[in-house]
Structure 1
Amino acid sequence: MLKATEAEIETVREYFEWQAPDLQVVFLQKVYSEAVLNTRHDVWDIHTNKDRWWVITGGTNLYSQAQFPNMDLALTFHIGLMLRIPRTEEQQENDLRVLPFEPVLEKMEDVGAAMTQAHNLADYQAVGVRCRETLLALIGAAQDAAAWTDAPPQRANFRAWTEIIFNALLPSESNKERRGAIKQTLESAWTFTNWLTHAKSATWLDADMAHALTQQAVQIAMTQILRALRGVPEACPQCGSSYLEPEHGENSSAPGVLWERPACTDCDWTGRPVPVLDTEAGRPIIMREGEQTHEHSIMTVPLRMIAKPGDPVIAPLQAMETGPPEHVVYFAYGSNMSTVRLRERMPSCEPLGIATLPGHALRFHKRSKDKSGKCNAFATDDGQSVVGVLFSFDPAERATLDRAEGVGNGYEHATVTVINDEGRRRKVLTYLASPDAIDDALKPYSWYKDFVLSGCAEHGLPADYVAAYVQAVAAASDPDTTRDARERAKLGATFSPAS
């Protein structure tokens, strides 16, 4: 048995209970650790109320000990799997959105790899060095992508370039707070990582903080720069909608080059196309020939040993029962707490009980397509929590929920750790507002607020929570009276909003 921190134990427990919510962990221990290609893989032996499993980190996955009785073979399989997992089309498409910042993301991955190997002072300082290199790569990539000034400072002058780039991207007094927030985020990351590179008292927590600060700074800065480089307006100039999505295509006059343009989902407006990728340049890390398949199989012969010619035949496992895929567990905290409303989108949904999301506060500030405010679980550090309802649903219905929530246009998927009504922590799906979709001046329409109140009453959320975070929120009348009547009809006559 190897030593493990409480944080490691809790992380592995949460991961397992997220992957296997029908099983209860009764014992777990870290039994082995190995580093391969700068990635550390820790092997955990998990005992549940029904069976035993391996959980292996470094691309965390779990393996049944009925199929992998031998730990070494499970680890070998895991490492090979992590090396061979193909990049999905969705991932490749997401990568297009961050060109020309590939070197920055590669350096960010190097920081993550360094974190897995960080065990002493020199390692922690090395994380600081890699974070600093990442921030310099960010500014360098921005310099290469556009001409920001006629009098450029030295290429590595991080602070000067930060001022130049974001003064150009966010000019005028109306952008003062946005501009200041981005500069402050970048300055904090730069100052802290530079300190870490020489700090004699640095700890693993300092390295982790530098990693987190750098990730946040890179993400925020890249978003702003890419929007400018690709000519993405804040709203559709034709209809005013903020629901803009990237479209990809090719130009017959420039074969082999992939182009991207913003397109409005509410009308036929499209923006100016810009080249984002030379499809004939570069090569994937893993080259494949022959037919590829997405089919999977489950081994029926236990991997107790590597069989050699002439060895006795190993008996296969008993036939495994198969059935429908396990349901997804979803944390609803706004209008979707109303089972009536949620079943419109996911007929299979079933409530599982109340749960609490620590470190977040309920806000009605997510900008909606109808110009009102919708609910968001906003991350805070002041001890607040969001109370909501857990639902299970058929994974085949998830795409419908994604469309209804507007994923990519105001809400984003998130995996969060909640505490259920039995006091157990579990990772679940939820939706959180994108930072650029938040407006604290917004109010919810009264019918939307009533849906939230209906869900609170239906599932018995704490009265003091409902009073403070829902009933106390000022609502506005929906100017679209037809929509107001339609939504209220869904609530039914059984719900009477509290005064």
Structure 2
Amino acid sequence: MAEMTKLEERKIRDYVDSQTLPESGDEVTIVQKVGRRRVARENYDLYDVWMSSGQRWWVITNMTNFYPQDDFKGLDQAFTYHLGRNAVIREQFAVQPDEEQVETVGKPWRRYAGAVEALATAEEAEDFQAVGIRCRESLLALVRDNIEASWVRVHGEQPQVANAKAWFAIFANSLSANSKPRAYFKSLGERTWDLAVWLQHYVDASAIDAEIVLGATQEVLRTFALLQVDYSQPVEQRCPKCDSYQVVEESSKVIEKEGAFGTLLHDECTSCGWRSEQSFDEWPRERLQRLIDYKTGAWSPPRKSMEDLEVRDADEASS
């Protein structure tokens, strides 16, 4: 069996519990990590989970899902199915941006999605050329949407909007302090722009040519979004014990402390198990009331007010 931290075990336990019906009374009794596999540069953690009813599940991460061992007798079978399922899902959502991309490249991505749709119905060379035009429009939309951004630093005369290659260099210099990512995005933007313009005018354009330009355009948008996130977010915390980036914030259930309600927060390293000191996060009255409404509404009892909660806690404290 592979080693795992208590936090890792708890997350898998909580995941399985969240996917089963509470009224069934079936609970997780054992979580065993049975390995890790790496496929196409992605890691997958594998777990054998036992339930109080005797039911057993294979749990596989990286788009975590669980599979009944009654149906999947061997782990290899479950893992193969998991990889196939993930591939289908990713293909279905290939042109849908994630949350970070929606925030930073929403309009350019919609134009890129139009280029993908155009290729789906393309038959002749001029149809494939049109994909190049749409990719070029997507890149120009990226420029137009960001030339007035607060983070943009232009030294000297400002380039024309249509000079996308000059703007990609400005964006690279403005967003990244690291020379390698900066040079990569600058080069990627320039080469992709040249590809899109080439495809637009290439009279013998083929489906493969269009696929190449689409892939390059998507990479420009994706890399720009990542640079934006890296620029705007604080420096990622590292574990003071093992120097790992695998530090997450954990919280307790709602508790009462000195007349206030809230949760205890601490940082925990999933790699070595290091824990920081706890701090108390006091909840505003409105947030706590929403929690009460949610809890009581789930079971359909009479609604309880904040005063009822305070009286109950006072009674418990006196007893």
Structure 1 length-normalised TM: 0.29
Q: Say which structure is richer in strand.
A: 1
TM-score, normalization by structure 2: 0.44
The structure with the largest helix share of the pair is 2
